[in-house]
Amino acid sequence: MEMVGALYGLGFAPKAVRLFASARSAGKQIPTPFGELTIEEFSVSAAQECDIVLMAVSGGFATEHAETIAQKSVVIDNSSAFRYRDDIPLVIPEINPQAAVGASLIANPNCTTAIAAVALWPLHQAFGIKRAIISTYQAASGAGSPGMDELETGIRAWSRGDDIQASTFQHPLPFNVIPHIDSFQANGYTREEMKVTWETRKIFGLPELPISCTAVRIPTLRAHAETITIETLSPVTTASARAALENAPGIEVVDDTSANFYPMPLTATGKYDVEVGRIRQNPVFGNHGLDIFVCGDQLLKGAALNAVQIAELLLD
């Protein structure tokens, strides 16, 4: 329902909003900002009756149906099924809106990538990024409702003195951090970490950009945080970086350490913009280095909101 909420929040006034799901859910009445809607059983032909289809499904489901639907409708797919195909655009509207023009099937990036890329793009435009090192602190909701439920259940178990069970995550998450999201690859990185590299390169149009990412699951419910270190091609100062970020769309600069004012999951939750703060020169790279801390709602800019913003592009 995050996509429906984003449609309403961005001021869409569609002639009709239709919800599709499996036969098991068909017929249920769902309250939405557009009024109470009835879930319909999914079929390709029914989806093709829509002008724009926003897909929040598994990669397997998207692989099976998205291209067929796209023969008659524009499909914006939130899964990873098409992100790495050269013939399918991977779009963040603040960065590469032109890639969506004329496309009938558009991929939405990984949540971690979207949050980082929105912050990195204005810095790249102003100073050029030579390389980037990223560490992520990802909320339980990145694993969906089961991840949030497991965190809350585990905290309650701990408070009773019971053992904490783990099934969604590799280890108990309450009062812990887990440096393991998705499967490990041959190079020692996880697939989640490599997604940041692969997708940022594609969105920026920089296929050789050196990026190293470490992705960590932390015991928060919502909104991902990331520390980002960049080496730039041109000299950069804290002031010039702040100016570039303050003038960029999709960013809220939250950076007043004297008032303990910086990005946090608690403040980023529910926001459309990505919070950026802790802006400082990196001593390793000197006047060509910068450190920032970013936080964004991965269910919004990292997923639903970005998909709806792509739809907005197409309508404009």
**pLDDT of 215-272, one tens digit each?**
999 999 999 999 999 999 999 999 999 999 999 999 999 999 999 999 999 999 999 9
Q: Are residues 6 and 134 in the same domain?
A: no
Does the structure show a pLDDT above 90 at 89?
A: yes
Q: What is the structure's pLDDT at 13?
A: 85
Q: List the one residue out of 286, 276, 293, 291 whose CA is nearest residue 235.
A: 286
Amino acid residing at 290: L
Does the structure show a pLDDT above 80 at 316?
A: no
Sheet containing strand 52-55, strands side by side: 52-55, 74-77, 105-107
The span from the CA of 27 to the CA of 31, in Å, is: 13
Q: Are residues 272 and 135 in the same domain?
A: yes
Task: Look up the CATH number of the domain holding residue 38.
Answer: 3.40.50.720
Q: What is the structure's pLDDT at 14?
A: 86
Q: Are residues 232 and 263 in the same domain?
A: yes
The reply to whether 171 belongs to the active site is: no
Mean pLDDT of 97-107: 96
Q: Are residues 272 and 310 in the same domain?
A: no
The span from the CA of 127 to the CA of 241, in Å, is: 9
Q: Are residues 34 and 183 in the same domain?
A: no
pLDDT level of residue 285 (50, 70, 90 thresholds): very high
How many CB atoms are located within 10 Å of the residue 314 CB? 16
Out of 65, 124, 224, 288, pick the active-site residue: 224
Quick check: 26 and 39 in contact, CB under 8 A?
A: yes
Q: What is the structure's pLDDT at 1?
A: 83
- Local structure of 278: helix, strand or coil: strand
What is residue 164's DSSP assignment? P
The span from the CA of 314 to the CA of 56, in Å, is: 19
How many CB atoms are located within 10 Å of the residue 309 CB? 22
Number of helices (H) and strands (E) in the chain: give both, helices first.
Answer: 9, 12
- Local structure of 56: helix, strand or coil: coil
Q: Are residues 70 and 30 in the same domain?
A: yes
Task: Look up the CATH number of the domain holding residue 171.
Answer: 3.30.360.10
| Cα dihedral value 123, 129, 131, 133, nearest 10 | 0
pTM of the model: 0.95
The reply to whether 111 belongs to the active site is: yes
Does the structure show a pLDDT above 80 at 176?
A: yes
Out of 50, 111, 213, 295, pick the active-site residue: 111
Q: Are residues 89 and 128 in the same domain?
A: no
pLDDT level of residue 297 (50, 70, 90 thresholds): very high
Report how many domains make up the chain.
2
pLDDT digits (tens, 9 = 90+) for 44-63: 999 999 999 999 999 999 99
Amino acid residing at 274: V
- Local structure of 215: helix, strand or coil: strand
Q: Are residues 29 and 62 in the same domain?
A: yes
Structural domain for 55, as ranges: 2-109+304-315
In angstroms, the Cα distances linking 3 to 114, 225, 300 are 16, 22, 8
Q: How many residues does the chain have?
A: 316
Q: Are residues 94 and 126 in the same domain?
A: no
Q: Are residues 311 and 200 in the same domain?
A: no
pLDDT level of residue 135 (50, 70, 90 thresholds): very high
The span from the CA of 112 to the CA of 71, in Å, is: 30
- Local structure of 313: helix, strand or coil: helix
The span from the CA of 54 to the CA of 69, in Å, is: 11
Q: Are residues 240 and 120 in the same domain?
A: yes
Q: Are residues 282 and 311 in the same domain?
A: no
